[in-house]
Amino acid sequence: MRQIRVDLAAAYRLIHRLGLDDSIYTHISARLPGDHDRFLINPFGMRFDEVTASNLVTINIDGTVVDDPLGLGINPAGFNIHAAIHSARKDAMCVLHTHTIAGVAVSSLKAGLRPLTQWSLQFIDSLAYHDYGKIALDIGERARLVADLRDKSVMILRNHGLLTCGRSVAESFKLMRNLERSCQAQLAIQAAGGDFTVIPEATARRAAQQYASFYDGIEAGETPDVEWAAFRRLLERTDPDFMN
């Protein structure tokens, strides 16, 4: 349990460091081990760079706060999105949601994310879309989210932002980092105004399979996650209080 807390706090700090946070809004949640439906989420009102392993809020799937060290509570809209996915997808150990300029921009394009770069190819078979309805405050929005996500690990919320589901905090973070960079690169390509180089479908799908195999190896413990370890070392040097 300690490791999950530290990893989740690290993800909050890294999302802030990369400029992917939105003031006190958006969230990253992580399921706690055991046969109960409990997960960790940030205290509402704190910046991402203030989150630590010990100030995370523990909450049940039904919205009941189990442990709130700072007494700040949670954001109901943020809880609704995360609870919907955690309740339907037991494999979603970590759910990460962002409202970045690039992510919101691509989410507002009819074509959505296009397979224009190597980063974007990994999402060919794992990307879902969710049409905008309203701010996710009511229970009815949960069914729509789950129905649109299905078994995918990545979702673009139309006119809203980006979401990733990982088998670990590390996987969810890495997926989001690459999804965000895919959006940024696409906007830069479109702004350049030139003709796109089209990647053949067979080539694109082969790259997607390579990405999937690489992630599977890490999550199965067959391959060390050297990238996440490198990010953790960065924080341990510059922001060691995230572990507190």
The total number of structural domains in the chain stands at 1
- Angle at Cα 130 formed by Cα 127 and Cα 135, nearest 5°? 140
Tens digits of residue pLDDT in 44-63: 999 999 999 999 999 998 88
CATH number at residue 76: 3.40.225.10
Structure tokens at 104: 């919101």
Q: Which domain holds residue 11?
A: 2-243
On whether the CB atoms of residues 9 and 56 are closer than 8 A, the answer is yes
In this predicted structure, what is the pLDDT of residue 142?
Answer: 82
Q: What is the pLDDT of residues 83-102, one digit of tens each?
A: 999 999 999 999 999 999 99
Which residue shows structure tokens 């909050």? 12
Is the CB of residue 133 less than 8 Å from the CB of residue 65?
A: no
pLDDT tens sequence across 13-53: 999 999 999 999 999 999 998 867 899 999 999 999 999 99
154, β-bridge pairs: 127, 164
SS3 content of the chain, % helix, strand, coil (to 5): 45, 15, 40
* pLDDT tens per residue, range 225-242: 999 999 999 999 999 999
